[in-house]
Structure 1
Amino acid sequence: MDGLRFVIYDKAGAFRRQFSGADAAADLLPNAISTATFTLDDDDPALPAVTAPGARCAVWFRGVERFRGAIHETPFEGPDGALTAHVQADIRKLWHWQGWQLPTAAVGAQAQAYRTYSGPAETVFKNALWENFTRLGVPWTVAPDQGRGLPTRAEFRMHPLADKLIPALTASDLIVTLAYPEGGGVVVDVRESKLVPGVLTVATGIPDSYSGNRIAATVTRVVVGGRGEGVEREFVQVRDTVRETDWGDIIEGFVDARNTDEGSDITVDGREALEEGAPRAAIATTLAETTRFQYGKTYVEGDRVHVRVGPVDTTQQISVAITEDADEGVVITPSIGELDVSADTDVQLANQVARLARGIRDRGRR
Structure 2
Amino acid sequence: MDGHRFVIYDKTDAYELDLSGLEAGSDQRPNVIPTATFLLDDDHPALPAITADGARCGVWFRGVEQFRGRVQSTPGQGPDGVVTVNVEGDLRKLWDWHGRQVPDAPLWSQFQDYRTYTGPSETVFKTALAENFTRLGVPWTVAPTQGRGSTVRTQFRMHPLADKLIPLLDADNLTVTLEYTETGIVVDVREPETVPGILTLATGIPDAYAFDRSAPTMTRCVVGGRGDGTDREFVEVIYTDRESSWGDIIEGFVDARNTEEGADLTIDGHQTLAETAARIGISTELVETDRFMFGSTYQLGDLAAVHIGPVETLQRLSVSITESAEEGVIVTPRVGEIEDSADTDVQLARQIARLAKDARDKGRR
TM-score by length of 1: 0.98
2:133 matched to which residue of 1? Answer: 133
- State how 1:35-114 maps to structure 2 within 5 Å: 35-114=35-114
Equivalent residue number for residue 187 of structure 2: 188
- What is the match of residue 119 of structure 1? 119
Alignment-derived partner of residue 30 in structure 2: 30
1:5 aligns with: 5
Gaps of 5+ in 1: none
Aligned-partner Cα distance in 2 for 1:189–1:301: 14
Partner of 2:76: helix, strand, or coil?
A: coil
Question: Counterpart of 1:223 in 2: which secondary structure?
Answer: strand
Question: What does 1:138-287 align with in structure 2 at a 5 Å threshold?
Answer: 138-181=138-181, 183-287=182-286
Which segment drifts farther, 50-59 or 343-352? 343-352
| Paired residue type of 2:273 | L
| Partner Cα separation in structure 1 for residue 359 and residue 36 of structure 2 | 30
* Residue number in structure 1 paired with 2:333: 334
Over the aligned positions, Cα root-mean-square deviation in angstroms equals: 1.1
For the residues of structure 2 that align with 1:340 and 1:247, how far apart are their CA atoms?
A: 25
Secondary structure at 1:318 match in 2: strand
1:282 is displaced (CA, Å) by: 1.5
CA drift at 1:23: 0.6
Distance 1:329 1:162, change over 3 A: same
C-alpha change, 1:348 and 1:220, in structure 2 (3 Å) is: farther
Moved more, 106-115 or 272-281: 272-281
Amino acid at match of 2:227: G
Q: 1:74 to 1:12 in 2, by over 3 A?
A: same
% identity of equivalent residues: 63
Aligned length in residues? 365
Which letter maps to 1:174? L
For 1:203 and 1:160, the matched residues in 2 are separated by 44
Distance apart, 1:342 and its partner CA: 4.2
Mark the CA change 1:250 to 1:343 in structure 2 (over 3 Å): closer, same or farther.
farther
Q: Structure 1 CA distance, aligned partners of 2:176 and 2:310? A: 32
**Structure 1 residues 245 and 345, CA, compared in 2 at 3 Å: closer, same or farther?**
farther
CA distance in structure 1 between the aligned counterparts of 2:354 and 2:234, rounded to whole angstroms: 26
How far apart are residue 239 of structure 1 and its match?
1.6
User: Residue 59 of structure 2 aligns to a residue in which SS?
Assistant: strand
Q: Secondary structure at the match of 1:351?
A: helix
CA-to-partner distance for each residue in 1:55-108, whole Å, 9 max, x for gaps?
000000000000000001000100011111100000000000000000111111
One-letter identity of the residue aligned with 1:139: P
Contact in 2 for aligned 1:199/1:305 (Cα 8 Å): yes
* Ranges in structure 2 where 5+ consecutive residues have no aligned partner: none
- Higher mean alpha-carbon deviation, 38-47 vs 54-63, is at 38-47
Counterpart in the other structure of 1:291: 290
31-40 or 237-246, which deviates more = 237-246
Flag the 1:341–1:241 CA change in 2: closer, same or farther, 3 A: farther
What code does the residue aligned with 2:269 have? G
What is the CA distance between 1:240 and its match in structure 2?
1.5
**C-alpha distance in structure 2 between counterparts of 1:164 and 1:226, whole Å:** 20
Please give the residue correspondences for 1:311-326 in structure 2 after superposition, counting only pairs within 5 Å: 311-326=310-325
- 1:342/1:234 CA distance change after superposition, 3 Å: farther
CA–CA distance in structure 1, aligned partners of residues 21 and 221 of structure 2: 54
2:342 is paired with a residue whose SS is coil
Asked if 1:357 is matched to 2:359, the reply is no
Contact 1:13 1:184 in 2 (8 A): no
Aligned to 1:169, the other structure's residue is in SS state helix
Deviation at 1:244, TM superposition (A): 1.0
Distance of 2:222 and 2:358 partners within structure 1: 20
Which residue matches 2:18?
18
CA deviation string 1:215-263 (max 9, x = no partner) = 1111111111111101111111112111111111111111111111112
Report if the CA contact (8 A) 1:213-1:342 is conserved: no
Partner of 1:180, secondary structure, is strand
**Aligned mates of 2:183, 2:77 — CA distance in 1:** 35
| 1:345 and 2:344 are equivalent in the alignment | yes
C-alpha distance in 2 between matches for 1:185 and 1:166? 22
Partners of 1:226 and 1:359 lie apart in 2 by: 21
CA deviation vs aligned residue, 1:133-178 (integer Å, no higher than 9, x gap):
0000001111111111110112100000001111111111111000
Shift of 1:346: 3.1
Is the partner of 1:30 in helix, strand or coil?
A: coil
